[in-house]
Amino acid sequence: MSQKFQRKVEDFVCEHCGAEVKGNGYTNHCPKCLWCKHVDVFPGDRKESCGGMMEPIRIEHVGDRYDVIHRCVVCGVEKRNRVSSDDDFNVVAKIAENFAKKETQNK
């Protein structure tokens, strides 16, 4: 299996919110709701057989960028993806806020 990133320019309709998404070869989640689909073993390979929807569960600050962490609702795997300038910042903020509330409640 190759671990090399494979750029794929693909448009898609988000299976979570129905938004029509114009891909640019780096697009891996819906910019409207931030959900994605579990289709890759390695970025762009389309070799994952699970096919489950991946929920954006938290936002993490990494260096000079933010990442969205997705968890597959079928198999539970977690994957990290960069937040894009095309992403709805209000949704990014809401995910971060919801995660912070859960963390506070768990203490």
Whether pTM exceeds 0.75: yes
pLDDT tens profile 16-39? 999 999 999 889 999 999 999 999
CA 31 remoteness from chain centre: 9
Position 15 pLDDT exceeds 90? yes
The number of residues making up the chain comes to 107
Strands (E), the chain: 12-13, 20-21, 36-37, 53-62, 65-72, 78-82
In 3D space, the residue among 86, 82, 91 whose CA is nearest the CA of residue 43 turns out to be 82
Question: 7-34: buried (b, 16+ CB within 10 Å) or exposed (e) per residue?
Answer: ebeeeeebebeeeebeeeeebbbbbbbb
pLDDT tens profile 51-105? 999 999 999 999 999 999 999 999 999 999 999 999 999 999 999 999 888 877 8
- The confidence band for 106, taking pLDDT boundaries of 50, 70 and 90, is confident
